[in-house]
Amino acid sequence: MQLIKQRIYDLLKKDNSHLLNKEINVKGWVRTRRGNKNVAFIALNDGSVIHSIQVVVDVKAFRDDELLRKITTGACISVNGKLVASEGKGQSVEIQATEIHLYGTADPEKYPLQKKGHSLEFLREIAHLRPRTNTFGAIFRIRHALSFAIHQFFNDSGFFYLHTPIITGSDAEGAGAMFRVTTLDLNDVPKNEKGEVDYSKDFFGKETNLTVSGQLEGELGALALSTIYTFGPTFRAEKSFTSRHLSEFWMVEPEMAFYDIHDNMDLAEAFLKYLVAYLLEHCADDLEFLEKMYDPGLLDRLNLVVDNQFERLTYTDAIELLENSGHQFEFPVKWGVDLQSEHERYLVEEQFKKPVILTDYPREIKAFYMKLNEDGRTVRAMDVLFPKIGEIIGGSQREEDYGKLSGRIREMGIHEEDVWWYLETRKFGTAPHSGFGLGFERLMLFVTGMGNIRDVIPFPRTPLSAEF
């Protein structure tokens, strides 16, 4: 009889009574097998949920020792059997196996996940297999739920998902060093009379790079559709080896016409609270697992974000506070410096004990497109700072005045011919507008309690590392 495959998630759900005492089929990977001459217990996991289901095999009745012997940790099997209430501890139901098909063995001598308790560093070296651990199963399910919640939030709020390009012809954003995209023969690069690389011979007839942000194109969308967001991969070619930087990371960037900096902050705060609350509701099992294994304060910290109003203060006030804190920082603070994560974390973790939004940064340390304040020294920037993470969001109200914006562009040595299209939005029907960028993996770090950003993306790209 062909049975319908059930997800282990559905078998372990509270309302599984329609499946109880029925013949069912499950397929998955063996976590462990133990037992004795008479009975074998197989813990089977299919990735649909953190918990494995117990498969009970009556060894004598089964009469296939050869097959049973091959069912070791990591093997892939299909099981037919009856779902019954369990008398054992630790599970409410189990499967009494009647038939087992072995799809693939995993030689116990060679399978790297044969034993439990590997370090996260070791698991990074086997990124092709680490999704099969409980830890990475939990992380990638949360990553999915978080992505879904992002779309849900914006869709419900009347935002349109705009796909901004990955390959870009402009490097005006200035957010970081870029990866070049080229099909030129690197062994025989065409040169012009001045001896420079002749990009007119390249695939696009000009210099192109991987995008560092979808913002500039996002603004074009917002100045037509009013409220949009992008959510896609972005690339930064900095040689940063920190636990908070990736060379390829995902960024969520909403951009809103008719929003000022205060509307922008309100949106960022509501957005983050929605996402964390969504996970608390939909990923409780995985969060509990991560709290137990890695971070005893995780759930408290998540609730702190949902329950508290974020503290809002200006960069200038924050500098004064840091200067008067009596705390010894590795990087000294004074007005005009870019804040380091030690400063950000002091404000969040020591001073306010909740998320903080800093605004009105010195113009010199922020991007050309941010709206200049009346004081002429600061811009309408906002950074959202989180416990354990530091900066999780960077955003601003944008300069909508054509004259001021083109002045800033000249000042910063950006070639107008590279951004003529961006400037035209200020020439034709310009509007006040704002937006921000949320580092998706920074939020993943926060919600999973993991300490290293390489452990919250399936296949991390960092300097000197792109194996999988």
Report the interface residues with ligand 4AD, using CB under 6 A: 173, 175, 213, 215, 236, 245-246, 249, 251, 253, 391-395, 435-437, 439, 441-442
The structure tokens listed for 284 are 């409780």
Rounded to whole angstroms, how far apart are CA atoms 268 and 359?
A: 13
394 makes contact with Mg ion (CB under 5 A): yes
Q: Which stretch binds Mg ion (CB under 5 A): 166-174, 185-193, 203-211, 393-401?
A: 393-401
Shortest Cβ 175–ligand 4AD spacing (Å) = 4
Q: Report the nearest approach of ligand 4AD to the CB of residue 133 (Å).
A: 23
In the complex, the smallest distance separating the C-beta of residue 343 from Mg ion, rounded to whole angstroms, is 14
Number of residues that bind Mg ion (CB under 5 A): 1
Q: Where are the beta strands (DSSP E) in 316-463?
A: 356-362, 378-386, 390-397, 433-439
Q: Out of ligand 4AD, Mg ion, none, which partner does residue 251 contact, by CB within 5 to 8 A per kind?
A: ligand 4AD
Q: 130 is in the binding site of which of Mg ion, ligand 4AD, none (Cβ under 5 to 8 A by kind)?
A: none
Cα–Cα distance for residue pair 229/223, rounded to 1 Å: 12
To the nearest whole angstrom, how small is the minimum distance from the Cβ of residue 391 to Mg ion? Answer: 6
CA distance 32 to 43: 5
Angle in degrees, CA 350, 296, 139, rounded to 5: 105
Binding partner of 99, given Mg ion, ligand 4AD, none, CB within 5-8 angstroms per partner class:
none
Residue 435 contact, options Mg ion, ligand 4AD, none, Cβ 5-8 Å cut-off depending on partner type: ligand 4AD
CB of 39 to ligand 4AD, least distance (A): 49
Q: Which is nearer to ligand 4AD, 33 or 236 (CB)?
A: 236
CB-based contact 430:402 (threshold 8 Å): yes
Give 396 or 430: the residue with its C-beta nearer to ligand 4AD: 396
Distance of alpha carbon 51 from alpha carbon 58, whole angstroms: 23
CB of 76 to Mg ion, least distance (A): 44
Give the span between the Cα atoms of 19 and 82, in whole angstroms. Answer: 9
Give the nearest distance from C-beta 294 to Mg ion in angstroms.
27
DSSP letter string over 30-99?
Answer: EEEEEE-SSEEEEEEE-SSSSSPEEEEEEHHHH--HHHHHH--TT-EEEEEEEEEE--STT-SEEEEEEE
Q: Which is nearer to ligand 4AD, 437 or 449 (CB)?
A: 437
Helix (H) or strand (E) holding 253: strand 248-257
Question: Of these partners, ligand 4AD, Mg ion, none, which one is at the site of residue 123 (CB under 5 to 8 Å by kind)?
Answer: none
Task: Kindly indicate which of the ranges 39-47, 55-63, 183-191, 389-397 contains the residues binding Mg ion, using the contact rule CB under 5 A.
Answer: 389-397
φ, ψ for residue 244 (rounded to 5)?
Answer: -120, 5
Nearest approach in angstroms of CB 251 to ligand 4AD is 5
Q: Please, what is the minimum distance in Å from the beta carbon of residue 436 to ligand 4AD?
A: 5
| Nearest residue to 146 (alpha-carbon basis) of 277, 22, 294 | 277
Q: Where are the alpha helices (DSSP H) in 324-382?
A: 341-345
439's contact among Mg ion, ligand 4AD, none, with CB below 5 to 8 A by partner kind, is: ligand 4AD
Select from Mg ion, ligand 4AD, none the partner in contact with residue 246, using the beta carbon and a kind-dependent cut-off of 5 to 8 Å. ligand 4AD
Rounded CA separation 97/466 (Å): 42
| Residue 55 or 275 having the CB closest to ligand 4AD | 275
Query: Residue 234 CB, nearest distance to Mg ion (Å)?
Result: 12
Give 394 or 435: the residue with its C-beta nearer to Mg ion.
394
Q: Which is nearer to Mg ion, 358 or 414 (CB)?
A: 358
**DSSP code, position 350:** I
Question: 329: which residues sit within 8 A by CB, 6+ positions away?
Answer: 322, 340, 342, 343, 346
Residue with Cβ nearer ligand 4AD (138 or 272): 272
Q: Which of these, 272, 196, 192, lies nearest to 439 by C-alpha position?
A: 272
* Nearest to Mg ion of 124, 312 (CB atom): 312
Partner whose footprint covers residue 132, from Mg ion, ligand 4AD, none (CB < 5 to 8 Å by kind): none
Partner whose binding site includes residue 28, from Mg ion, ligand 4AD, none (CB under 5 to 8 Å by kind): none
The DSSP symbol for 451 reads S
Site string for Mg ion, 344-383 (x = CB under 5 A): ----------------------------------------
Token reading at 354: 């909740």
**CA distances from residue 162 to 40, 165, 221, 234, 398 in whole angstroms, order as listed:** 53, 10, 7, 15, 19
- Within its chain, how far is the Cα of 406 from the centroid? 34
Minimum CB separation from Mg ion for residue 218, in Å? 16
Enumerate binding residues for Mg ion (CB under 5 A).
Answer: 394
